[in-house]
Structure 1
Amino acid sequence: MSAVENRYTLREFVEQTQQRDRGEGFFEMESPRILEVNLKSNFVWTKMGSMISYLGSMKFEREGMFDKGLGGFFKKAVTGEGARLTKVTGTGKVYLADYGKKIQILRLENQEIVVNANDILAFEDTVSWDIKMMKRISSMMAGGLFQMTLSGTGMVAITTHYEPLTLVVTPDQPVYTDPNATVAWSGTLQPNFKTDISFRTLIGRSSGESFQMEFVGNGFVVVQPFEEVYHVEG
């Protein structure tokens, strides 16, 4: 059989796309858009609906309404699907993806990062978390923005549409971002909101440039070349 005839066979397809053990540890990148989580005696929090396959014996448990106390109950009552979590326990491998978005793995070392809740894919059980709503922006956007604060030590996987860009914030160099394109920022920063009245006359732009997030201090901000639209569960 010629080299040309060997192309596009089922064998070639399987060899090129099959799962591979790379020995990278708890989180392993199967591809830029598929995350492998290796579970043994621990568990992992995942974005609800992100599981695409698993090997072994797994249990999937949706986060309870009262798991974070009474305050957590009220948060979940108005939180969109992007902020819902599933607790995965068992022994084996679970594969996660989120609409083909690119995956970024971060290792926290007694650090804190704030992530748009819709852009969280998974995080280790050793990482502490909390969900908050950005109230000052909720009246400006459909559904507002929910942010998840992750702190401590452990692995975190976030997603971005296409390649992310990280901007360094210093006291003499603030950073301004479109809320719909903002993915994450360091826990040392607290965003403010700046409205630019002059942009409100632009036709076809209901938000975006008409108001921005302002980051001042020392830290970093992650943005993506895509503007997400957020909705609240009915």
Structure 2
Amino acid sequence: MARYTVDEFINKTSQKDKGEGLFELETDRLLEVNLNGMIWTKMGSMVAYNGGIKFEREGMLEHGLEKFLKKAITGEGAHLMKAVGNGKLYLADEGKKVIILNLENDSIIVNGNDLLAFEPSLNYDIKMMRRVSSMMAGGMFNVKLEGTGMVAITSHYEPLTLVVTPERPVMTDPNATVAWSGNLMPDLRTDITFKTILGRGSGESFQMEFRGSGFVVVQPYEEVYFQTTTSG
């Protein structure tokens, strides 16, 4: 029997319906959306689709004046687009692993760079950590999602979830932090010493400190955030 034929390749890699509903993992790094209506997606994340689907960029006042002002003041924001219609939509982000979460009257905060898609039934708000933007190259913003609905987030490689308790706070590298439970309010810890100024410090000068009860998701990769600009 011949190996590595075109038919064998097509059979191995062809799309397969799993019947899991709106969001399903076509592969570990590719999200399939069985669209019948509208969802929010990260701009530039569409890799393929079929059916009658249209894409619309998020309007300036799409989520209200308050969020528009936050974006204008911070220079940051989740660059979103609407996918509207009926069909199958395939989303990915730089080959990162896709994680699907079904929120049930719950909330989660996601690093804005790691938000892939979410249902319009979820409310979202931009959260800026105090002092982070001025201390990290390119700044950092987070998106709080709350309510009932599905959200897809991404992680470089396999994520690790750490449980936070009042007795055991968790410290993380901001560049490796993907998401955390919506009830937690992390603080930024700084460890700048004379050695740091001379370039002889540990290199871990900034950490996010999580206290309370909840969880935090980290990835085995430190992302570098670049300031982005968009033309009006």
The one-letter code of the counterpart of 1:165 is: L
Per the alignment, residue 37 of structure 1 pairs with: 33
Normalised TM-score (structure 1): 0.92
2:76 aligns with: 79
Cα shift at 1:66: 1.2
Give the 5 Å matches for 1:142-157. 142-157=137-152
Could you say what secondary structure the match of 1:139 adopts?
A: helix
Aligned 8 A contact 1:180 1:208 in 2? no
1:149-188 aligned at under 5 Å gives the runs 149-188=144-183
Gaps of 5+ in 2: none
Structure 2: how far apart are the matches of 1:142 and 1:211? 12
Kept after mapping to 2: 8 A contact 1:101/1:160: yes
Change (3 A) 1:14 1:188: same
Q: Which residue of 1 aligns with 2:107?
A: 112
Q: Give the CA RMSD over aligned residues.
A: 1.7
Shift, 1:12, TM fit: 0.5
Identity level (%) = 64
Task: Give runs of aligned pairs for residues 16-95 of structure 1, distance below 5 A.
Answer: 16-40=12-36, 42-77=37-72, 78-79=75-76, 83-95=78-90
Question: Which residue does the alignment assign to 1:11?
Answer: 7
Which AA in structure 2 matches 1:184?
Answer: A
The number of equivalent residue pairs is 226
Structure 2 residue matching 1:15: 3-state secondary structure = helix
Tell me the residue number matched to 2:131: 136
Residue type at the aligned position of 1:21: D
Structure 1: state its 5+ residue gaps: none
Amino acid at match of 1:17: T
- The structural deviation recorded for 1:202 is 7.8
1:115 Cα deviation (Å)?
0.3
Q: 1:80-133 CA distances to partner (integer Å, 9 max, x unpaired)? A: 6xx201111101110000000000000101000000011000011211111122
Local SS of the residue matching 1:135? coil
Q: Shift of the alpha carbon at 1:76?
A: 3.1
1-structure distance, mates of 2:59, 2:71: 9
8 Å Cα contact 1:28-1:35 kept in structure 2:
yes
Pairwise CA distance, 1:208 = 5.8
Distance 1:215 1:183, change over 3 A: same
1:101 is aligned to 2:93: no
- Structure 1 residues 169-201: Cα deviation after superposition (integer angstroms, max 9, x where no partner): 000000000000000000110001111134725
C-alpha distance after superposition, 1:146-175 (max 9, x if no partner)? 100000011110000000000000000000
The residue matched to 1:68 in structure 2 has which SS?
coil
CA distance in 2, matches of 1:132, 1:208: 26
CA shift at 1:69, angstroms? 2.4
Q: CA deviation at 1:74?
A: 2.9
Residue type at the aligned position of 2:204: E
Equivalent residues of 1:176, 1:215 under 8 A apart:
yes
